Amino acid sequence: MSPTAASDADHAPAAGGIAADRLRSVIERVERLEEERKALSADIKDIFAEAKSAGFDVKIIRQIIRLRKQEPAEVEEQETLLDIYRRALGM
């Protein structure tokens, strides 16, 4: 057992070999991050509402964001296939 693990075990009551303080810490950190994620989601929603009120098409903005996350070669491949499929359908 490492010195850190031993000191953690000394300070936290254990039930079934689980250090309660350590478990509580992990759970509370995840809960804090989930709250931050909710706040960020609300901020993003507000930005999309602002874009919509400025006359931008939110659906297209989401597509652009998705494309910017991809590698350029991947985007080019998808666009090529889309073009091939459109021509096959006479579009």
31-73: per-residue pLDDT in tens? 999 999 999 999 999 999 999 999 999 999 999 999 999 999 9
State the DSSP string of 16-56: TTEEHHHHHHHHHHHHHHHHHHHHHHHHHHHHHHHHHHTT-
How wide is the angle at C-alpha 36 spanned by C-alphas 53 and 50, nearest 5°?
5
Phi, psi of 19 (to 5 degrees): -75, 110
Instruction: Return left, alpha or beta for 4; rule: phi > 0 is left, psi -120 to 50 is alpha, else beta.
Output: alpha
For the chain, the structural domain boundaries read: 8-55, 57-91
2-34: per-residue pLDDT in tens? 555 555 545 556 677 778 999 999 999 999 999
